[in-house]
């Protein structure tokens, strides 16, 4: 019985070995008695002006037949190399040719030897331990090896004044740019420069030379171009970006020439002095209360998985001080950039209270997504105010620079930015008490679009207010842009907050507030209060949906949105009209009102 068991095990092992045979040829047993041969071999470099220019003394080449154990390392001497350096000829001992019926080539060569890691049974393959190297491979034609470049070459020069010592190369659309290993097959009738490949590499690194050459595997296509990040002492300091599609073909070169003037300063999002604005979550609005450098992930709203595609840079769309003063450009946000899927912004050394709209853009300056940067003048607090919303709320409207005061005429700094129902994009507030004009801006002035917008048009043009008289701002109505069920990617509130949901049982949303206890108002000073302690609401009017012109009733009215919409044209909001009523009601979505953010 034991004998039969051993026989079964033996057959199982033999079957497993048989299954591992190369699909091109069965594995013959090596013949220990097979004699080696001595041949005078010539090694010829590619005549294409790309890659290795000439042989040098000390260059090492691997020559092999069927088995790696029999491969020979050839070391060139100066006497072996031709005058022009393009070829080298020498006598090589100990060769074991690999004889086959499907090709006449029987020896295979690869350079450089230190990059070759052939499998024990290597057949006609040459395996390299990486791709960002000057790799050459060949089969014999008689006693001559005419090498082929395994990779394509990207080369460039930079001026010595650019103080960098290394680079990182990667694709703008995150395509593969190299492999941990690459095995090629070259015979007299087959050339496959990516026969087998190792784990993909998303970036390539190396040192800067007088002419820097980056090797990319044959057939690599980068639809969105590539980026070269330059480093000094291991830290990224400069960047070069090319957004043209690139195709890498073996033996060809993409010559960028001198790119010194096209290199830009790199804003490293992983620098220790850059602070996370999204440490508490992602959103369409971020609050800044101290000067400095900040970053947040470039995603759509609060969806951490919704990374943006085709982003090439960043820009400031507009800035406002929430009043009628002439706004100085880059006073609220000093500079903005995009790197490594992060938006990065720098403030002035002294904060200037105000609001800014910043955006990620593609290579044609089209806006991909935008965010609101809120720099308040005084601290924002949170309170339940007697549970007037059903959740604790901010002490001021979204975008207001100060809390509203009931002592004296309302200051424009207390007016929040205005919003159409379901739209994440903010628009300036009134520039003064009882003024119908919007606050001044530096940058692209927000204005009414000639008609309704698609969601894509609104995203790409956040300065436009789509409209339809007595209707929606959106061409295809969508009642889910904001939602009672939870915060959405179009919610305009900062991390941890959301547009309040409709709840008719809460004081601010229950019937006519003028029939309830605990409220007060003054249209001569432009305020309304409710709750205990009292929550102050500035009566900033609203931007009318009729032609979406200027603001109206900036002293005795205000519209505060909830996240609930009841039909294609209207959403629910608290419509305050001093002398008339103050209650939760339907309002046209294209009307621009205010948002008092509540805790999620």
Q: 3-class DSSP state for residue 342?
A: strand
Distance separating alpha carbons of residues 486 and 490, to the nearest angstrom: 11
| Res 435: pLDDT | 96
Compute the average pLDDT of residues 506-511. Answer: 87
- Beta-sheet pairing, 570-577 with 527-530: unpaired
Compute the average pLDDT of residues 321-348. Answer: 97
Compute the average pLDDT of residues 228-255. Answer: 94
Distance separating alpha carbons of residues 398 and 380, to the nearest angstrom: 10
**Closest by Cα among 223, 240, 168, 232 to 201:** 168
pTM score of the predicted model: 0.79
Q: In whole numbers, what is the pLDDT of the chain averaged over residues?
A: 92
Cα angle vertex 116, ends 175, 199, to 5°?
Answer: 25
| Res 71: pLDDT | 97
Q: Name the pLDDT band for 3 (thresholds 50, 70, 90).
A: very low
Distance separating alpha carbons of residues 501 and 599, to the nearest angstrom: 11
pLDDT at 10 exceeding the cut of 50: no
Compute the average pLDDT of residues 146-172. Answer: 96
Distance separating alpha carbons of residues 55 and 81, to the nearest angstrom: 7
> Could you tell me which residue, 360 or 9, shows the higher pLDDT?
360
Q: What is the DSSP letter of 317?
A: E
* Structural element, H or E, at residue 5: helix 2-19
Contact 295, 314 (CB under 8 A): no
Looking at the chain, the whole-number percentage of residues with pLDDT higher than 90 is: 86
Q: What is the DSSP letter of 457?
A: H
Residue 145, token pair as written in the block: 């090896």
Compute the average pLDDT of residues 42-70. Answer: 94
Q: Name the pLDDT band for 538 (thresholds 50, 70, 90).
A: very high
**Closest by Cα among 320, 489, 518 to 412:** 320
Residue 586, token pair as written in the block: 């339907």
How many CB atoms lie under 10 A from the CB of residue 448? 17
Distance separating alpha carbons of residues 330 and 370, to the nearest angstrom: 17
**Closest by Cα among 359, 369, 546 to 448:** 546
pLDDT at 225 exceeding the cut of 70: yes
Looking at the chain, the whole-number percentage of residues with pLDDT higher than 70 is: 94
Distance separating alpha carbons of residues 71 and 15, to the nearest angstrom: 29
Compute the average pLDDT of residues 203-218. Answer: 96
Compute the average pLDDT of residues 238-267. Answer: 94
pLDDT at 524 exceeding the cut of 70: yes
Compute the average pLDDT of residues 422-443. Answer: 97
| Res 24: pLDDT | 47
| Res 547: pLDDT | 67
* Structural element, H or E, at residue 443: strand 441-443
């Amino acid at each position: 019985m034991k004998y039969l068991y051993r026989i079964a095990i033996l057959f199982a092992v033999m079957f497993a070995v048989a299954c591992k045979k190369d699909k091109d040829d069965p594995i013959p047993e090596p013949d220990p008695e097979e004699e080696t041969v001595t041949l005078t071999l010539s090694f010829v470099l590619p005549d294409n002006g790309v890659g290795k220019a000439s042989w040098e003394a000390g260059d090492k080449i691997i020559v092999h037949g069927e088995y790696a154990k029999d491969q020979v390392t050839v070391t060139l001497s100066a006497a072996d190399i031709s005058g022009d350096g393009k070829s080298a000829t020498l006598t090589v001992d100990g060769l074991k040719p690999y004889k086959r019926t499907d090709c006449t080539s029987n020896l295979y060569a690869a350079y450089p030897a230190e990059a070759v890691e052939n499998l024990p049974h290597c057949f006609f393959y040459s395996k390299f331990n990486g791709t960002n190297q000057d790799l050459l491979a060949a089969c014999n034609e008689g006693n001559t090896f005419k090498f082929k470049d395994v990779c394509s070459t990207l080369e460039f020069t930079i001026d010595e004044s650019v103080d960098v010592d290394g680079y990182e190369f990667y694709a703008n659309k995150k395509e593969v740019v190299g492999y941990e290993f690459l095995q090629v097959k070259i015979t007299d009738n087959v050339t496959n420069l990516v026969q087998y490949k190792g784990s993909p590499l998303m970036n390539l690194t190396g040192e800067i030379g007088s002419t820097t050459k980056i090797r990319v595997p044959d057939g690599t296509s980068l639809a969105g171009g590539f980026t070269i990040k330059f480093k000094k002492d291991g830290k990224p300091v400069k960047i070069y970006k090319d957004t043209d599609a690139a195709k890498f073909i073996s033996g060809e070169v993409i010559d960028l020439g001198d790119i010194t003037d096209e290199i830009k300063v790199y804003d490293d999002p992983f620098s220790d002095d850059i602070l996370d604005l999204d440490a508490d979550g992602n959103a369409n609005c971020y609050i800044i209360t101290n000067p400095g450098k900040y970053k947040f992930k470039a995603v759509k709203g609060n969806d951490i998985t919704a990374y943006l595609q085709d982003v090439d840079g960043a820009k400031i769309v507009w800035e406002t001080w929430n009043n009628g003063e002439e706004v100085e450009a880059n006073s609220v946000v000093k500079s903005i950039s995009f790197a490594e899927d992060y938006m990065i912004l720098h403030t002035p050394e002294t904060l200037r209270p105000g609001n800014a709209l910043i955006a990620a853009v593609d290579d044609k300056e089209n806006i991909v997504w935008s965010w609101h940067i809120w720099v308040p003048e005084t601290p924002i607090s949170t309170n339940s105010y007697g549970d007037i919303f059903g959740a604790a709320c901010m002490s001021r409207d979204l975008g207001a620079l100060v809390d509203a005061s009931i002592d004296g005429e309302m200051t424009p700094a207390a007016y929040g930015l205005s919003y159409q129902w379901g739209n994440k994009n903010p628009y300036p507030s009134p520039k003064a008490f009882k003024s119908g004009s919007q606050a001044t801006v530096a940058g692209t002035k927000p204005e009414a679009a000639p008609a309704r917008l698609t969601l894509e048009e609104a995203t790409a043009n956040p300065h436009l207010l789509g409209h339809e008289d007595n209707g929606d701002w959106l061409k295809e109505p969508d009642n889910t842009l904001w939602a009672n069920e939870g915060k959405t990617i179009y919610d305009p509130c900062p991390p941890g907050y959301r547009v309040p949901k409709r709840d008719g049982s809460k004081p601010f949303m229950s019937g006519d507030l003028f029939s309830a206890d605990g409220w007060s108002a003054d249209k001569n000073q432009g305020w309304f209060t409710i709750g205990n302690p009292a929550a102050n609401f500035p009566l900033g009017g609203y931007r009318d949906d009729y032609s979406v012109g200027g603001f109206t009733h900036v002293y005795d009215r205000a519209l505060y949105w909830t996240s609930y919409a009841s039909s294609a044209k209207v959403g629910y909001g608290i419509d305050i009209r001093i002398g008339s009523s103050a209650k939760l009601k339907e309002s046209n979505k294209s009307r621009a009102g205010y948002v008092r953010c509540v805790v999620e």
